[in-house]
């Protein structure tokens, strides 16, 4: 690959845009670069000198990618609605007490899975990532159910389940951070909220007993409100341009929504449980960022070896 090819590929790797926007940006850059090279050639520079001068005039690949991201990252209101839709669905599930109906639960879960699969196979648009987060719920649900198996079965099933669950989560994260670790964070945003409500619903007899179901009736409006807060967060995230504002929004939203759950739980979440949930929230921010850094470094190394 030529030096110019490396430069353009470096910009592409750093863009973090949807596939259609990425192709458009690279096409525009290629056209602009070709025009500039032609001017430099006509000025008497050799091909190598023209390429070197052109790259210097354009600036660092990271700076170009950052500018392009800010100019094109803002989504439309339609995209914002699509991204917030899964949170709105789960909010309605509890506010309208649809969670009591197996039929409504099946409809919501199938709609969520179908939409996520559709978006995944059609270019992974930004709006699909919140849908992907709810597709991880069955994996978490299986893990919780395993805790209530008879002791002998649990000691066999859980050691087999944990490596598979961790591998699946790692695989999904690696695939999503290739686009943008912030999008991976929007995917994982409901996790600490759901975990906090699970703690609030816990009873000494276990979460499937009558007392927990009664608590679910009592907490249902508040649970719906917490998902509504996530929907508002995602709408604001899609409409923002500045990356640092998006990071601040996600962190603030995760912290405030978790605080909302603790408040409405009425003291059912102990201080150690709250601290554990806080660590989980921090992990959901740090893990995608670390993975993205690792994946992008590997991509840049492969690019340099060509």
* pLDDT in the model for residue 225: 95
Phi-psi region of 242 (alpha: psi -120 to 50; beta: other; left: phi over 0): beta
CA 114 to CA 194: how far, in whole Å?
A: 21
CA 167 to CA 238: how far, in whole Å?
A: 29
Examine the fold and report which residue of 71, 92, 127 is the final residue of a domain before the chain moves on: 71
- Do 67 and 98 fall into the same domain? no
CA 19 to CA 24: how far, in whole Å?
A: 9
Handedness of CA 34, 35, 37, 38 (dihedral sign): positive
- Do 158 and 198 fall into the same domain? yes
**Quick one: average pLDDT of 173-187?**
90
Domain range holding 281?
A: 75-298
- Do 158 and 24 fall into the same domain? no
In the chain, helix, strand, coil percent, each to 5? Answer: 85, 0, 15
Examine the fold and report which residue of 48, 71, 94 is the final residue of a domain before the chain moves on: 71
- Do 275 and 194 fall into the same domain? yes
Name the average pLDDT for the chain: 85
DSSP 75: P
Residue 231 within a domain: yes
User: Whose CA is closest to 19, among 107, 114, 120?
Assistant: 120
- Do 52 and 167 fall into the same domain? no
* pLDDT in the model for residue 78: 94
CA 211 to CA 109: how far, in whole Å?
A: 25
* pLDDT in the model for residue 145: 65
Examine the fold and report which residue of 39, 71, 103 is the final residue of a domain before the chain moves on: 71
pTM for the full predicted model? 0.86
- Do 19 and 109 fall into the same domain? no
Longest dimension (CA), the chain: 84
* pLDDT in the model for residue 205: 47
Per-residue pLDDT tens for 231-273?
Answer: 999 999 999 989 999 999 998 998 899 889 988 888 788 888 8
Per-residue pLDDT tens for 8-42?
Answer: 888 888 888 888 888 888 888 889 888 888 888 88
More confident call, 40 vs 212: 40
Per-residue pLDDT tens for 36-91?
Answer: 888 888 888 888 888 888 888 888 888 888 888 888 889 999 999 999 999 999 99
Residue 227 within a domain: yes
* pLDDT in the model for residue 207: 46
* pLDDT in the model for residue 115: 95
- Do 80 and 47 fall into the same domain? no
Judged against a pLDDT cut of 70, whether residue 174 lies above it is answered with yes
Per-residue pLDDT tens for 109-145?
Answer: 899 999 999 998 988 899 999 999 998 877 776 766 6
Beta carbons within 8 Å of 208's beta carbon, 6+ residues apart:
148
Number of domains in the chain: 2
* pLDDT in the model for residue 274: 86
**Quick one: average pLDDT of 105-110?**
90
Judged against a pLDDT cut of 60, whether residue 206 lies above it is answered with no
- How far does the chain reach from its first CA to its final CA, in angstroms? 6
CA 199 to CA 268: how far, in whole Å?
A: 8
More confident call, 214 vs 212: 214
Instruction: Find the length of the chain.
Output: 306
pLDDT band at 194 (very low <50, low <70, confident <90, very high): confident
- Do 81 and 66 fall into the same domain? no
pLDDT band at 148 (very low <50, low <70, confident <90, very high): low
Beta carbons within 8 Å of 185's beta carbon, 6+ residues apart:
250, 284, 285, 288
- Do 151 and 272 fall into the same domain? yes
Angle 61-72/3-15 helices, nearest 10 degrees?
40
* pLDDT in the model for residue 60: 86
- Distances in Å between the Cα of 6 and the Cα atoms of 9, 178, 300 are 5, 18, 9
Phi-psi region of 97 (alpha: psi -120 to 50; beta: other; left: phi over 0): left
CA 19 to CA 25: how far, in whole Å?
A: 10
- Do 98 and 243 fall into the same domain? yes
Residue 305 within a domain: no
Judged against a pLDDT cut of 70, whether residue 293 lies above it is answered with yes
């Amino acid at each position: 690959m030529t030096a110019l090819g490396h430069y353009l590929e470096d910009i592409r790797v750093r863009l973090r845009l949807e596939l259609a926007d990425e192709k458009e940006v690279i096409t525009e850059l290629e056209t602009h670069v070709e025009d500039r090279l032609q001017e430099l050639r006509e000025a008497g520079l050799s091909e190598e000198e023209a390429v070197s001068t052109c790259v210097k005039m354009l600036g660092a690949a990271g700076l170009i990618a950052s500018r392009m991201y800010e100019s094109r990252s803002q989504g439309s209101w339609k995209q914002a609605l699509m991204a917030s839709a899964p949170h709105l669905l789960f909010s309605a599930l509890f506010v309208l007490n649809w969670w009591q109906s197996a039929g409504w639960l099946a409809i919501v879960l199938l709609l969520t899975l179908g939409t996520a699969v559709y978006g995944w196979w059609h270019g992974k648009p930004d709006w699909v990532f919140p849908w992907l987060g709810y597709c991880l719920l069955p994996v978490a649900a299986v893990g919780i159910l395993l805790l209530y198996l008879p002791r002998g079965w649990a000691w066999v099933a859980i050691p087999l389940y944990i490596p598979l669950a961790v591998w699946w989560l790692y695989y999904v994260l690696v695939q999503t951070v290739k686009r943008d670790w912030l999008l991976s964070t929007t995917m994982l945003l409901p996790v600490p909220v759901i975990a906090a409500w699970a703690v609030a619903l816990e009873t000494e007899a276990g979460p499937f007993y009558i007392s927990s179901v009664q608590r679910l009736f009592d907490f249902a409006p508040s649970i719906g409100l917490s998902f509504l807060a996530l929907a508002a967060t995602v709408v604001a995230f899609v409409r923002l341009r500045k990356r640092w504002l998006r990071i601040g929004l996600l962190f603030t939203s995760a912290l405030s929504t978790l605080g909302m759950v603790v408040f409405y739980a009425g003291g059912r979440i102990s201080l150690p449980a709250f601290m554990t949930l806080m660590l989980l929230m921090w992990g959901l921010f740090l893990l995608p960022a670390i993975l993205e850094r690792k994946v992008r470094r590997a991509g840049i190394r492969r690019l340099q070896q060509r």
